[in-house]
Amino acid sequence: MTDPVVVSDLRKVFKVPVRDAGVRASMRSLVKREHRDVVAVDDISFRLRPGEIVGFLGPNGAGKTTTIKMLSGLLHADGGDARVLGHQPWLRSKDLLSRIALVMGQRNNLQWDLPAADSFELNRAVYQIPDADFRRRKDTYAELLDVAALVNKPVRNLSLGERMKMEIVGALLHGPEVLFLDEPTIGLDVTMQKRLRQFILDYNRTDGATVLLTSHYMADVVALAQRVIVIHHGAILYDGALAGLADRFAATKTIRVTAPDLPADVSGLGTLVERTPDKLILEVERSRVAEVTSRLLSVSTVSDLSIDDPPIDDVIDRVFTAEDAP
Amino acid sequence: MRPIGPVRLAAIHLKVAALNEFQYRLNFFVQLLQSTVALAVGLIAIAVVYSHTESLGGWSQAQLLAVMGVHLLIGGVIRTFIAPNMRRLMEDVNDGTLDYALTRPADSQLMVSVRQFSIWSGIDIVMGVLVVLWAGLAVEGAIGVLGTLNFLVVILCGSVIVYSVWLAATTVTFRIIRGDYVMQLLDGIYEAGRWPVTLYPTWLRLTLTFLVPLAFAVTVPAEVVAGRLDGSSLVWAIVVTAVFAVGSRVIWRRGIRRYAGASA
Amino acid sequence: MSISAMRDYYVAASRIGFQRDIQYRGATFINILGFMIEPAIYLVVWRTVAIEQGGSVGGYSVDDFTAYYIVWTLVRVMNLAHAPYAWEWRIRGGRLNEMLSIPVQPFHRDFAYFIGSKFVWILMWIPVAIVLTLTFQPRLDPQPAHVAGFLVAIWTGFAVRFLLLYLMGMVTFWTTRGQAIFDLIVAGELLLSGRLVPLSLMPGWVQSVSNWLPFQWSFQFPIEVAIGRLSNIEILQGLGMQMLWIAGMGLAFARVWPRALRNYTAVGG
């Protein structure tokens, strides 16, 4: 089976009007419009394998949303190619649109002032979903997301979390094979977020859908994505397993050691993060981890020792700030 | 600190609005085009009517031109000064941002009435004045100095009346209906002022005289220009103006009190 | 989409349009009332003219005018269509992205929603019609052929105007100053459609010009069918003209829409 999403040298350039402040500049701009080219997506390439959940990470303006828009047919590319289920998305073939779903955190696809059930009915007609499948999916997903009792309430009367879950139900009624999720858990509380993540995992497992997910919340990515693509300034910085991210970008590891007789001076070993009478947390350069560990083991009676990558959030932060620095 | 005076307040906002809109010079030409088209349509409508008759309910073509001119003029006043503020007021109520305007050291009604202006709609005021002048010349018998003074007084009354009506309507429907419908409805009713209210059946004429006084906003000033004014109309105009100005203020105060109470 | 799938969609979508307007019935009713002011004004003006001219003007008696403008109100409710300037709000607000994400063209979605709304609006028009009839006492003497013709003509007239306004709306994909163009066209429609006054009261050259334009087929034609001023042949001819305009503008739209979309997806919402 071919890869459902194939991106090759994809490029998107925006023309941004340029104008200085001031009256004279605004007069000039009336006559001559000046533009600057901003490369939002810079010849990126990647492919998604069937059934993969991939996290798409990047700060605002990195090119994530632009890429997702191109993959869902809302923007056409200025260079390179993309194929979703074999189609070029911006040609917006009906066949393609019937097999994908785009869920953006802040947007509504459901009718605001009517019960969700009515919008589901409409979706049934839009996607020509067979009755049995329609009913099965509607009931199953609503049950799983705990909104079954709310389908007859007008959407505007639902809380943000309930609305988001309802949107997800509506988006999956036609059984899409490729799912683009843009910030799906934004604005939700922690319990809702967990619920939603579990649901996406289950859906991916049972339906085998391929999921491309963008999120600000590392927890989303950590919970869902086996693989991450990191994008910054329109270019891909990393494409691989989440675990490998730290290896690639983190310069340090975190060593936690518990012992009653820890050395007083640890300045030569690494950066001190936290110290209590019998616990020590150090950040140590990766190349020195073996050396520092054996030192600690030899001078103290260690009862517990762990070596971890720094928190993913920090790693990502460092990636982006590092790229911004001159 | 002494609260800022109404004239100064209005002037400040007007200047800001003007500076803002002068940036968009293209909007001037767009508005000019739109106003010209509207004027042309109005003139053509009158021409079509008068191609079939010499007088319409006792009004000659030149006199009807006066009605159109005043309608355009007052319409310009509404679009330039009144409607933008009412729309902003409704937005503020919907978004819950009215408090910002209410906590300034100035009268609340004043604050919400002088914040926004649609500068380029002033073209309609200019056009209205030109048409009124044209009608004044076309009508038999010059109106003279006294007539001109009458006209200015009545136009001022008319402006205050439409302002009061717009404000009262906006305040009353704060939370009942969707804001844009109110504006649309008022605009629609104002359209009835295109033609002299004397044409309408009695019950409608009375409605348009005492409930939504288009009669005093449009027809009476036109009567001044057309040389048809009788003294009692002038007195009535001033009386109705006073009633509506006071009435709308009362409605405003009550509306604000309810609003403040609700969001506390 | 197959025909049956399309029909299925239209039923589902028009139901949504219907339910939405029922949900907001207060605002909808006031909106409809607002549209009734215009014909009331014309009615009064032209009745006055006719009375002053001794009972009739340009082939229309006082009663004829009354009938004309009362039927006008129903025709107006039926020919309300998707406003061209609404596209600007749609593009700016990102709503268009949502509409483009489903395998149904926005045109069908809009058309279907409007069809659903029409039924609500007709219901709301009925009390207005009753009031107007009781007040002005028009004399209407409908033949079955006229009624049948009218029932078709108001829907085809709606389709004509819907396509016209939808095509106008496409301008928004190329410029934000479309409002000026819209005003011009609507002004033309006011004078050349029988909206302001029956075309036979306009100078001859105006009538000739109107015959080349689609406006009268959404306004004057359905009205005249209803009030019985057209022979059966003329009714059939008129329906034919409506079909022609629908076909023509439909084809034009089919060519413009992909271009408009290309323009939009080049820059995005």
pLDDT tens string A14-47: 888 776 666 666 566 656 667 788 899 999 999 9
Residue among B26, B44, B181 minimizing CB distance to C31:
B181
How confident is the model over A80-101, as a mean pLDDT? Answer: 92
What value does the mean pLDDT of chain B take?
85
Q: Could you tell me if residue C120 is inside a domain?
A: yes
Q: For residue B127, which of B231, B37, B250 has the smallest C-alpha distance?
A: B37
Cα separation of the two ends of chain B: 26
Q: How far is B93 from chain A (nearest CA, A)?
A: 19
With residue B47 as reference, give the H or E element that holds it. helix B25-50
Residues 23-62, chain A: which have Cβ within 8 Å of B? 26, 30
Instruction: Tell me, letter by letter, the H, E, C secondary structure of chain C.
Output: CCHHHHHHHHHHHHHHHHHHHHHCHHHHHHHHHHHCHHHHHHHHHHHHHHHHCCCEECCEEHHHHHHHHHHHHHHHHHHCCCCCCHHHHHHHCCHHHHHHCCCCCHHHHHHHHHHHHHHHHHHHHHHHHHHHHHHHCCCCCCCHHHHHHHHHHHHHHHHHHHHHHHHHHHHHHCCCCHHHHHHHHHHHHHHHCCCCCCHHHCCHHHHHHHCCCCHHHCCHHHHHHHCCCCCHHHHHHHHHHHHHHHHHHHHHHHHHHHHHHHHHHHHCC
Distance, CA of C37 to CA of A53 (rounded, Å): 59
Helix (H) or strand (E) holding B23: none
CB of C268 less than 8 A from some CB of B: no
Q: Which residue of A has its CA nearest to B20?
A: A23
CB contact under 8 A, B52 and C30: no
The Cα A236–Cα C40 span in angstroms is: 65
Here the tokens at position C222 are 């359905």
Cβ contacts of C190 on chain B, cutoff 8 Å: 41
Q: Would you say residue C176 lies in a domain?
A: yes
Provide the phi-psi class of C194: left if phi over 0, else alpha when psi is between -120 and 50, else beta: left
8 A C-beta contact, residue A55 and residue A245: no
Which range (B56-65, B140-149, B215-224, B226-235) has the least confidence?
B140-149
Residue A324: predicted pLDDT: 59
With an 8 Å Cβ cutoff, are B185 and C33 in contact?
Answer: yes
Residue B27: list chain A partners with CB under 8 A. none
Predicted local confidence at residue B75, as pLDDT: 95
Which residue in C172, C88, C74, C158 sits closest to C116, CA to CA?
A: C158
State yes or no: pLDDT of A221 exceeds 70.
yes
A73-87, C89-103, C207-221: least confidently modelled range: C89-103
CB atoms within 10 A of CB C61: 14
Q: Please report whether residue C38 resides in a domain.
A: yes
pLDDT beyond 90 at B242: yes
Tens digit of pLDDT for each residue in B183-214? 888 888 999 999 999 898 888 888 888 888 88
**C20 contacts A73? CB cut-off 8 A:** no
Mean pLDDT of chain A: 86
Report the candidate in C77, C69, C238 with the shortest Cα–Cα distance to residue C156.
Answer: C238
Q: Identify the chains in contact with B, defined as 3+ C-beta pairs within 8 A.
A: A, C
Query: Does the beta carbon of B178 lie under 8 angstroms from any beta carbon of chain A?
Result: no
pLDDT reading at B47 higher than 90: yes
> Is residue C242 pLDDT above 60, yes or no?
yes
The single-letter code of the amino acid at C80 is: L
What average pLDDT does range A225-252 have in this prediction? 85
Are A115 and A153 spatial neighbours (Cβ–Cβ below 8 Å)? yes
- What mean pLDDT is predicted for residues A36-63? 89
Q: If you average pLDDT over every residue of chain C, what do you get?
A: 92
| Buried-state track A239-258, b at ≥16 Cβ within 10 A, e below 16 | beebeebbeebbebbbbebe
Q: pLDDT tens across C170-195, in order? A: 999 998 888 888 999 999 999 999 99
Residue B76's pLDDT is 95
- pLDDT surpasses 60 at A323: no
Contact list in B for residue A26 (CB cut-off 8 A) is 23
Q: How many CB atoms lie within 10 A of CB C209?
A: 15
Structural domain boundaries enclosing C53: 3-262
Is the CB of C180 inside 8 Å of chain B's CB atoms? yes
pTM: 0.85
Residue among C12, C103, C265 whose CB faces A75 most closely = C265
Shortest Cα–Cα distance, A134 to chain C (Å): 15
C88 to chain A, closest Cα gap in Å: 17
Closest CA to A142 of A180, A110, A187: A110
- Give C177→chain B minimum CA distance, Å: 7
Q: C103, A125: Cβ pair inside 8 Å? A: no
pLDDT value of position A326: 47
- The predicted-structure confidence for C125-138, as pLDDT tens digits, reads as follows 999 999 888 888 88
Q: Which of C29, C32, C41, C85 to mutate to test the interface with B (most CBs of B within 10 A)?
A: C41
**Residue among A192, A175, A113 at smallest CA distance from A141:** A175
Is residue C56 scored above 70 in pLDDT? yes
Contact C218, C186 (CB under 8 A): no
- The reply to whether C267 falls in a domain is no
Mean pLDDT of A275-288: 86
Report the alpha-carbon distance of residue C182 to residue C88 in Å, rounded.
13
Instruction: Kindly state whether residue C54 falls inside one of the protein's structural domains.
Output: yes
Please indicate whether residue A183 or residue A169 has the higher confidence score (pLDDT): A169
Judge: C187–B177 Cβ closer than 8 Å, yes or no: no
User: C157 or A291: which carries more pLDDT confidence?
Assistant: C157
Contacts of C269 in chain A (CB under 8 A): 74
The owner of tokens 């029988």 is: C194
Least confident segment among A61-65, B31-35, B64-68:
A61-65
The shortest C-alpha distance from C86 to chain B (Å) reads: 14
Over 90: is that where the pLDDT of A104 sits?
no
**Contact at CB, A92 and C100, closer than 8 angstroms:** yes
Q: Which runs of E-coded beta strand occur in A78-164?
A: 79-84, 100-104
DSSP B59: B
Q: Is B25 at the interface with chain A, CB within 8 A? A: yes
Q: Which residues of A touch C28 (CB under 8 A)?
A: none
Residue C234: predicted pLDDT: 93
Q: Does the pLDDT at position B59 exceed 60?
A: yes
User: In the prediction, which pLDDT does A24 show?
Assistant: 63
Strand partners, A57: A230
Q: Which of B261, B215, B212, B218 is nearest to B76 (CA)?
A: B218
Phi, psi at residue C116, to the nearest 5°?
-60, -45
Testing the interface with B: which of C30, C176, C192, C193 to mutate, by most B Cβ within 10 A?
A: C30
Greater confidence (B110 vs C124) lies with C124
Number of domains present in the structure of chain C: 1
- Predicted local confidence at residue B11, as pLDDT: 83
Nearest chain C residue (CA) to B185: C34
- Residue A106 pLDDT exceeds 70: no
Residue C268 inside a domain? The answer is no
Could you tell me if B186 and B120 are in contact, meaning their C-beta atoms sit under 8 angstroms apart?
no
Q: Please name which of A184, A182, A179, A168 lies closest in space to residue A119, comparing C-alpha atoms.
A: A168
pLDDT at B264: 43
When scoring A126, A152, A156, A157 by the number of chain C Cβ atoms within 10 A, the one with the most, hence best to mutate, is A126
Q: Using DSSP, state whether A16 is helix, strand or coil.
A: strand
Higher-confidence position of A221 and C190: C190
**CB < 8 Å from A in window 148-177 of C:** none
Residue C74 lies in a domain: yes
Residues of chain B in contact with residue A30, where contact means CB-CB under 8 angstroms, are 25-26
C39 located within any domain: yes
Contact assignment for C48 to B45 by CB distance below 8 Å: no
pLDDT-derived band at B10, boundaries 50, 70, 90: confident
